[in-house]
Amino acid sequence: MLRTHTCGELRISDINSTVKLSGWVQRSRDLGGMTFIDLRDRYGITQLVFNMETHPKQGEQARKLGREYVIQITGKVAERSNKNAKIATGDIEIIVDDLTILNKAKLPPFTIEDDTDGGEELRMKYRYLDLRRNPLRKAMELRHKMAITTRNYLDKQGFFEIETPYLIKSTPEGARDFIVPSRMNANQFYALPQSPQTFKQLLMVAGYDRYYQIVKCFRDEDLRADRQPEFTQIDCEMAFVEQEDILNTFEGLTSYLFKEVKGLDISNFPRMDYADAMKFYGSDKPDMRFDMRFVELNDLAQNKGFVVFDQAELVIGINASGMAEYTRKQLDQLTDFVKKPQIGAAGLVYVKYNTDGTLKSSVDKFYSSEELQKWAERFAAKPGDLMLILSGGTDKVRKQLNELRLEMGNRMGLRNPNTFAPLWVVDFPLLEWDEESGRYHAMHHPFTSPKKEDIELLSTDPGKVRANAYDLVINGVEIGGGSIRIHDRDLQKLMFKHLGFTDEEAQAQFGFLMDAFEFGAPPHGGVAFGFDRITSLFGGSDSIRDYIAFPKNNSGRDIMIDSPSPIAQEQLDELRLNLVKAKK
Amino acid sequence: MLRTHTCGELRISDINSTVKLSGWVQRSRDLGGMTFIDLRDRYGITQLVFNMETHPKQGEQARKLGREYVIQITGKVAERSNKNAKIATGDIEIIVDDLTILNKAKLPPFTIEDDTDGGEELRMKYRYLDLRRNPLRKAMELRHKMAITTRNYLDKQGFFEIETPYLIKSTPEGARDFIVPSRMNANQFYALPQSPQTFKQLLMVAGYDRYYQIVKCFRDEDLRADRQPEFTQIDCEMAFVEQEDILNTFEGLTSYLFKEVKGLDISNFPRMDYADAMKFYGSDKPDMRFDMRFVELNDLAQNKGFVVFDQAELVIGINASGMAEYTRKQLDQLTDFVKKPQIGAAGLVYVKYNTDGTLKSSVDKFYSSEELQKWAERFAAKPGDLMLILSGGTDKVRKQLNELRLEMGNRMGLRNPNTFAPLWVVDFPLLEWDEESGRYHAMHHPFTSPKKEDIELLSTDPGKVRANAYDLVINGVEIGGGSIRIHDRDLQKLMFKHLGFTDEEAQAQFGFLMDAFEFGAPPHGGVAFGFDRITSLFGGSDSIRDYIAFPKNNSGRDIMIDSPSPIAQEQLDELRLNLVKAKK
C-alpha cells in the first residue's frame, strides 16, 4: 500500500506514530519557515507541516507543489496547536520527514471546491475533476449506500437478484427503443430494454416468487433536464400477492432506506385514489408536505353576474393560511405566475380574510360580504388567510391550481427538502386517450390488470376502467410505480385488442409472454422505483444528474468521451448498414 | 397474500394449524378414496391430501388437476404416517378443505424434473419452464448468493459501487463492439462497453479510491459454447496500491465467498510466474488440484539415436503416479487422444516403471535400462508409475502435454469439482505478437503497465517485456485478471505507439484518459472476475449457460423471445440507416 492510513483517519490517539499518507494537494500556505499543505483523499483532509529548518529539501519541494498534485509523505503525527473542529482530523497534523511526488497536475480548469467557478459544460467535459468535489463525492457515496441498503433489505425479504438480458427485442409500444444491429444475424436487430418488464413476469411464471434487480434501462426520447437516455431502476416482482402486499413490502423498503441512510423514522404511507389526487391536488403526484387542498366553489360562485366564473366549468381555489397581508405587488406576481404560458390561466381571483374579520376580494363588485363569508367557510379560512381562486375547464384549471399550490408552498416555506411525506396514489385509470393517434394507450403498460369490477366497462366506456396500478410519490416526486399484472392469456389478448393490436401483431411481439401464461402463470405484480430519482430525493436535490457518475447532456452526448461518434465504414459493412446522410 | 406459508415452511410443530398455500402441481396420485398432490414452489414441496369422503367436491376437483396447474388451498396441517426424510416438510401433510384453481396449465413440452426429457433447443424456447427445474433454481439461487456476498464483502472493505455508462464509444482496439445508432446525433453511434475499463480508471483519477460494480459487458464475437455476447463481471479498481495489495484483497473476497457460500476454508492462494506456468504446466491457467509437473528430458533423451526426439526442440513428459498397469489398449487410447487434430501430437512415448522395479518403454530399442532409470529419477517416479512423454516445438508440445496432463487428471480422478485449488498467475507478458496483423497486441489491454525494470526492453525486445498483470485461476479455470495500470500520460502514449496507434488515433480514441492523467492521476490497478464463470465453478459445472437466467444460443439468438429480429422501416429512417441486403 502506498499509505498506512487514509487522510480521514488519524486522531489525537495516533500522536507520535510514524505514518505514510497519499493524496491530493487541496491547498498550500507558504509561511516562510513553514509550509502547510492540506492533503485530501476520499476519506478526508489531513494537514501536513513542512519545516524549512529541519527538512529544507522537503520544504523546498513542498513550496513547489501545485493544486491537485498527487503526493506521498512519511511523517510523525503531532497535536495541532490551533485545532480545527470542522474536520475529523482537526486535532492533529503530520510533521513531514519525506515527500514523494506520485504525479504532477496541470492547473484544473475550475476550482475543486464545494462552490466551484466552473460552468456546467466545462464540468461535464472534465467530469473526473468535478467528481472530486465534495458535493459530488457525497452524492456518489449516498448512491452506493442506497444500493447496498436496498439489496440487503430485499435479500432479507427473500428476493433473488436475477439478471435479465440487455440485448432483447424491439417493440413499438411505449417509448422509442435504442436498437443494436446484429452482425451474426444479418439485417436483424436487438433492442436495449426500456425495462425488464416481460422478463420479470416470466421469472414469476418460472416460480421465482420474489425477484429484484437494480438495473439500467434505456429510452431513446428527446431529453428534458431531468431525463437521461440510460437510467437505473430498482425493479421488483412478486408472485401470489395482492396490491396491498406489494405496497406494504415497498413502503417497508422505503422506511428502511430512510432509517438506515438518513436516520429518519418515516412510516406513514397514506393511500389516495388517483381520482381524489386529481380532484384535491390537481396532480397524480401531490406534494403532501403541506395540505392546502383544492376547494370547489361552483355552487357559491356562479350565477352571481361574474361572467368569467359563470362560463367556467370549474371554479376552484386554495387557502393560503396566514397570507392575507400579501401586498398588491405580491398578488400581481401571483397573477403573472399563473398567466405564464407554461401555466396558462387567464387570471387570478383573490379573497383576503383580513385580521379584523372583513373580507376583501378582487371581485367585490359581484359578491357581497355575506357571499364571500360563505366562500371562507367552504375554505375553512380564518382571519389572516388568503384565498386564491382560478376558473376554467376542469382538467386545465386543476393543473393550473396545482402549479399555484406548489408555488405557494415554496413561498410559505412548506417544502423543506429535509422533510419527507410519502403517498401511494392508487387506482389509476387503465387507459388514456391519445388525441394524436386517436386511440387509447395503456397508462402504465399493456401488462397492467384492470380492476375485476371494471372489466365490463372495457367494451362500453374504456376510459373509466381503473387499473390495479399504483405510484409511490414522495414530496411531489414520482419515485416509482407498479401494478398487479395480467396473468391470463385471454385477458392479455383482450388488452392488446383494446390497445389497437391485431392478433398477429400481439402474437409476433408478445407471443412468448402469452404462451407462458398458458403453462401455469401465478398471480403476480411488482414495482419499479427510479433509482436516480429516489437517490437525488434523499440527497435533497431535484437534479438527478448530480447523482449519476457519468451523465449525458440534453443532446444525449457524453461530452467527456465525445460520444456518440462516427464509426469506421468497415464496422458498418460488417453490420450490413449504410448511412443515410442527414440533410435537415 | 395468497398464502399464509410457503411450500417449504411447515413442520411438525405446525400440526393442527389452518394454513393457506399456493403453488404448482408437481405430481398427483389418485388412490380412489384419497388423492395426494405434491404442491411445489421456490421454497419446497408440501404434500396435500384430498379425502373423497369428507370433501367429495374438492376431491373431484383435485383428480382433474394437471401437472403445473397453479392452485391455492386451505387446509389443516397433519402428521404424516409415512414420513419422507428427503424433504424438509416430509413430516407433515395438509388435509385440504378448500381448493381454488388460480391458473390452468397446458402439458409442458418437457418434464419439470431434475432429469428432464427436454432437448437443449426446446428448453431454451421454454426457458421459463426450464427455470422451474431444481438444478436451474439452485443455480439462480447460488448466483444471487454470490452477488450479495460479493457486494457485502466489498462494501465492508470500503468499495463504492458506482455505475458506469452503457452507452459509450466504439474503439477498434480489442474485441468487436456492439454499436448503437444515435437518433439525436445523426450518423453517429454509441458502443456498448466491453468492460468499464476507462471509466473505472477515471474514477480513480476522480479520487474514489475503491470502486466496484457487478456489471454487464458486451462483445460481438463469434460464440463458442462457453461464451455469451453479454456477460457479467465483478469489476474493481483501487488507488494507491501495489500488485500484492490487489491480490490480497481479491483472494480475501474469494476466500470469503468460499466460506459464506460453500462453507469451505480455502486460504491458500499461491503465486506462479507466467513463465513457470508455461514451463511446468504448458498453460497460463494450470489446474492445481493435482501436481503432475512437466519434466524436461532433452539432455537425457537426445542423441541416443531416436530421431524423433533428436529433431525435437523439446522432449517433455509427465509422471502418472500408480498408472503403470495401463494396458496396451489404454495406452493406445492415450496415443489416439494426443493425436486428435485439436491436440495434434505426432505420437506418445511411455515408460512403465513396473512394480518389480523393471522399466518398460515404447522406445526400448533406443534406450538402455540404465538410461530409462535416469529418466525415472528425473521424474521422481516410483515403481508403479507411468511416464508419458511428448516431443516437438517448445510452445506446441507444452500445449499438447497440458491437454494430456488434464486428461490424465480426469482419468485418475484428480479433478473433483468439489475440491478447489486457486492460483495467481503473475508477470504476464505485456505484448503478444499477432501473426495476422504483423504487429504486437496488448496481451491484457493497452492500459496495463510494464514492469519498471523491463521498460527499456520496449524498444529493443518488446516480446520480453513483462507486465504488472495477473490472473486468478481456480481448478484450471480463469476466474479473472487484472493489472496495475499506467497512470502517466507519456508512458501511455508510448504504449499506444508500440501498439501501432498514430498519435492522432490515440488522442481521438483515448484522449480523454490521457488528458485525465495530466490532472493528478494516482497510481492504481484493479481486477475483473467473470461472474458467470466463478458462479458456475462454485456450482460445480463448466457450463456458464446454466447460471444465466436468459442466455443466448451459439448464434447469439434468444430463442424464447425470438431476438434479434427485423425492425420497422420507420425505425431505420429515424436513425438514418439503410439495410444492405445480405447476399452470402
What is the sign of the dihedral through the CA atoms of B75, B78, B81 and B87? positive
What value does the CA radius of gyration of chain A take, rounded to a whole number of Å? 30
Instruction: Look at residues B100, B52, B47 and name the one whose alpha carbon lies nearest to residue B78.
Output: B47
| Cα–Cα–Cα angle for A493, A496, A499, rounded to 5 degrees | 155
Q: Are A173 and A434 a contacting pair, CB within 8 Å?
A: no
Which pTM value belongs to this model? 0.96
So what's the pLDDT on residue B8? 97
| Cα–Cα–Cα angle for B393, B399, B405, rounded to 5 degrees | 125
Rounded Cα distance between B69 and A447, Å, is 21
Point out the least confidently predicted range of A413-417, B178-182, B539-543: B539-543
Asked if B562 and A512 come within 8 Å (Cβ–Cβ), the reply is: yes
Cell (9 digits) for A139: 452524492
Q: Please report where in the chains the cell 355575506 appears, as a residue.
A: A370
The full set of domains in chain A, from first to last, is 12-103 (2.40.50.140), 137-272+422-548 (3.30.930.10), 290-411 (3.30.1360.30)
Q: Which residues lie below 8 Å from residue A86, measured CB to CB, with a gap of 6+?
A: none
Asked if B568 and A172 come within 8 Å (Cβ–Cβ), the reply is: yes
Taking contacts as CB-CB distances below 8 angstroms, the residues of chain B near A555 are: 184-185
End-to-end CA distance of chain B, in Å? 56
pLDDT at residue B505 greater than cutoff 70: yes
Cell (9 digits) for A9: 483517519
Q: Other CB atoms closer than 10 Å to residue A479's CB: what's the count?
A: 23
Q: CB-CB: which of A560, A567, A577 is closest to B170?
A: A567
Asked if A512 and B42 come within 8 Å (Cβ–Cβ), the reply is: no
Interhelix angle B134-156/A134-156, nearest 10 degrees: 140
Using DSSP's 3-state secondary structure scheme, residue A143 falls into helix
Instruction: Identify any residues that bridge with A213 across adjacent strands, giving them in sequence order.
Output: A235
What is the sign of the dihedral through the CA atoms of A570, A571, A575 and A576? negative
Q: Give residue-wise pLDDT tens across range A486-516.
A: 999 999 999 999 998 999 999 999 999 999 9
Cell (9 digits) for A367: 359578491
Q: Which residues lie below 8 Å from residue B402, measured CB to CB, with a gap of 6+?
A: B281, B282, B283, B286
So what's the pLDDT on residue A437? 83
Rounded Cα distance between A161 and A208, Å, is 10
Asked if B162 and A148 come within 8 Å (Cβ–Cβ), the reply is: no
Q: Please report where in the chains the cell 503497465 appears, as a residue.
A: B449
pLDDT at residue B584 greater than cutoff 60: no
Is omega for the bond preceding B564 within 30 degrees of 0, making it cis?
yes
Q: Model confidence at A227, in pLDDT bands (50, 70, 90)?
A: confident
Q: Give residue-wise pLDDT tens across range B19-42.
A: 999 999 999 999 999 999 999 999
How distant is the Cα of B148 from the closest Cα of chain A, in angstroms? 7
Q: CB-CB: which of A140, A186, A512 is closest to B561?
A: A512
Q: Model confidence at B384, in pLDDT bands (50, 70, 90)?
A: very high
How distant is the Cα of B171 from the closest Cα of chain A, in angstroms? 9
Rounded Cα distance between B137 and B549, Å, is 9
Instruction: Identify any residues that bridge with A49 across adjacent strands, giving them in sequence order.
Output: A36, A95
Q: Are B491 and B506 a contacting pair, CB within 8 Å?
A: no
Q: Please report where in the chains the cell 465534495 appears, as a residue.
A: A134
Which residue in chain A has the smallest CA separation from B24?
A: A520
Rounded Cα distance between B447 and B452, Å, is 15
Type of residue found at B352: K
Q: Give residue-wise pLDDT tens across range B56-107.
A: 999 999 999 999 999 999 999 999 999 999 999 999 999 999 999 999 999 9
So what's the pLDDT on residue B397? 98
Q: Phi and psi (nearest 5°) for A60?
A: -65, -45
User: How many interchain CB pairs under 8 A, A with B?
Assistant: 363
Task: Please name the helix (run of DSSP H) or strand (run of DSSP E) that holds residue B129, with its range, or none.
Answer: helix B127-130
Using DSSP's 3-state secondary structure scheme, residue A150 falls into helix
Which residue in chain B has the smallest CA separation from A1?
A: B241
ipTM of the complex model: 0.95
Point out the least confidently predicted range of A135-139, A507-511, B294-298: A507-511
For chain B, what's the residue count? Answer: 584
- Between the CA of residue B525 and those of A463, B204, B235, B385, B386, what are the distances in Å? 58, 9, 11, 45, 45
pLDDT at residue B224 greater than cutoff 80: no
Cell (9 digits) for B330: 489404454
Q: Which residues lie below 8 Å from residue A454, measured CB to CB, with a gap of 6+?
A: A430, A464, A465, A466
Taking contacts as CB-CB distances below 8 angstroms, the residues of chain A near B141 are: 160
What value does the CA radius of gyration of chain B take, rounded to a whole number of Å? 30
Q: Which residues lie below 8 Å from residue A372, measured CB to CB, with a gap of 6+?
A: A351, A359, A361
Cell (9 digits) for A63: 513550496
Q: Are B69 and B101 a contacting pair, CB within 8 Å?
A: yes
- Which of A9, A37, A70, A215 has the highest number of chain B CBs within 10 A, making it the mutation to test binding with B? A70
Q: Are A185 and B555 a contacting pair, CB within 8 Å?
A: yes
Type of residue found at B502: T
- Which of B550, B552, B570 has the highest number of chain A CBs within 10 A, making it the mutation to test binding with A? B550
Asked if B576 and A579 come within 8 Å (Cβ–Cβ), the reply is: yes
Taking contacts as CB-CB distances below 8 angstroms, the residues of chain A near B70 are: 520-522
Which residue in chain A has the smallest CA separation from B151?
A: A148
Q: Quick one: what percent of chain A has pLDDT higher than 70?
A: 99
| Cα–Cα–Cα angle for A38, A39, A42, rounded to 5 degrees | 125
Interhelix angle A134-156/A531-538, nearest 10 degrees: 120
Q: Tell me what the mean pLDDT of segment B323-332 comes to.
A: 96
The pLDDT mean for chain B works out to: 95
Q: Other CB atoms closer than 10 Å to residue B478's CB: what's the count?
A: 16
So what's the pLDDT on residue B472? 98
Cell (9 digits) for A558: 457524453
Q: Are B231 and B192 a contacting pair, CB within 8 Å?
A: no
Q: Are A258 and A250 a contacting pair, CB within 8 Å?
A: no
Q: Tell me what the mean pLDDT of segment A466-491 comes to.
A: 97
Rounded Cα distance between B22 and B44, Å, is 12
Rounded Cα distance between A294 and B198, Å, is 53
So what's the pLDDT on residue A584? 52
Q: Other CB atoms closer than 10 Å to residue B224's CB: what's the count?
A: 8
Q: CB-CB: which of B40, B164, B565 is closest to A549?
A: B164
Q: Other CB atoms closer than 10 Å to residue A463's CB: what's the count?
A: 11
Taking contacts as CB-CB distances below 8 angstroms, the residues of chain B near A206 are: 127-129, 131-132
Concatenated DSSP letters of B459-512: HH-GGG-BBSEEEEEETTEEEEEEEEBP--HHHHHHHHHHTT--HHHHHHHHHH
For residue A156, count CB atoms less than 10 angstroms from its CB and return exposed for 0-12, middle for 13-18, buried for 19 or more. exposed
Q: Model confidence at B295, in pLDDT bands (50, 70, 90)?
A: very high
Rounded Cα distance between B549 and B440, Å, is 38
Asked if B202 and A128 come within 8 Å (Cβ–Cβ), the reply is: yes
Q: Tell me what the mean pLDDT of segment B287-307 comes to.
A: 97
Instruction: Look at residues A504, A434, A490 and name the one whose alpha carbon lies nearest to residue A462.
Output: A434
Asked if A1 and B242 come within 8 Å (Cβ–Cβ), the reply is: yes
Q: Give residue-wise pLDDT tens across range A383-407.
A: 999 999 999 999 999 999 999 999 9
Which residue in chain A has the smallest CA separation from B132?
A: A206
Q: Are A20 and A77 a contacting pair, CB within 8 Å?
A: no
| Cα–Cα–Cα angle for B574, B577, B583, rounded to 5 degrees | 145
CA B517 to chain centre: 34
Asked if B3 and A518 come within 8 Å (Cβ–Cβ), the reply is: no
Which residue in chain A has the smallest CA separation from B183?
A: A220
Interhelix angle A503-516/A489-498, nearest 10 degrees: 150
Q: Tell me what the mean pLDDT of segment B449-474 comes to.
A: 95
**Segment A4-7 long-range contacts (CB within 8 Å, at least 24 positions apart):** A6/A41, A6/A42, A6/A43, A6/A44, A6/B209, A7/A39, A7/A40, A7/A41, A7/A43, A7/A44, A7/A45, A7/A46, A7/A89
Instruction: Identify any residues that bridge with A343 across adjacent strands, giving them in sequence order.
Output: none
